[in-house]
Structure 1
Amino acid sequence: MKEYTRAQLALRNGQDREEIWCAYQGIIYDVSPSRLWRNGKHYEHWAGQDLTPELSDAPHTSRVFERFKVVGKLIQA
């Protein structure tokens, strides 16, 4: 699985590049196909970052990530 740093993930925020990616529990997902992530924002959440600590505020469970393609692993660098 390809590995990405937080800085690389941050570039996939829907603003700097076309890709809209989010990380959850160390796995990076491509949420670009979702109409709910237009322009890299989903309600008060922003793409290009690790959303693990924010999921407790969401009205859904982590199963929501099952519908998105995994693009890599988030590493500490």
Structure 2
Amino acid sequence: MITLPEYSRSYLALRNGQDKPEIWVALNGIIYDVSESRLWKNGKHYEHWAGQDLTDELKDAPHTETVFSKFKVVGKLV
């Protein structure tokens, strides 16, 4: 079993695509690196901003959480 690194909400917030090159988002306690996605350029995807937990916002998205399976998991949100 792989143990994932744990990151706080404040650490996640720094990976918003504005101040650092990493663009991370969290969903259901898991943090994903979406840096390579053209849809997350500059840390924004439609009305969603990177560097935060998108769990509550996903219910309004036109896709399911399976879309995150193509992104690298970088850690757990604590």
Q: TM-score range by the shorter chain?
A: over 0.9
Is 1:38–2:50 an aligned residue pair?
A: no
Report the secondary structure of 2:25's partner residue: strand
Q: Distance in 1 between matches of 2:30 and 2:74?
A: 8
Report the secondary structure of 2:11's partner residue: helix
Name the count of aligned residue pairs: 75
Q: Output the TM-score relative to the length of structure 1.
A: 0.97
Q: Distance in 2 between matches of 1:22 and 1:66?
A: 13
Report the secondary structure of 1:52's partner residue: coil
Give the ranges of 4+ consecutive aligned residues of structure 1 lying more than 3 Å apart after TM superposition: none
What value does the CA root-mean-square deviation take over the aligned residues?
A: 0.3
Gaps of 5+ in 1: none
Give 1:16 deviation, angstroms. 1.2
Report the secondary structure of 1:64's partner residue: helix
The counterpart of 1:19, out of the listed 22, 30, 34, is 22
Q: Output the TM-score relative to the length of structure 2.
A: 0.95
Gaps of 5+ in 2: none
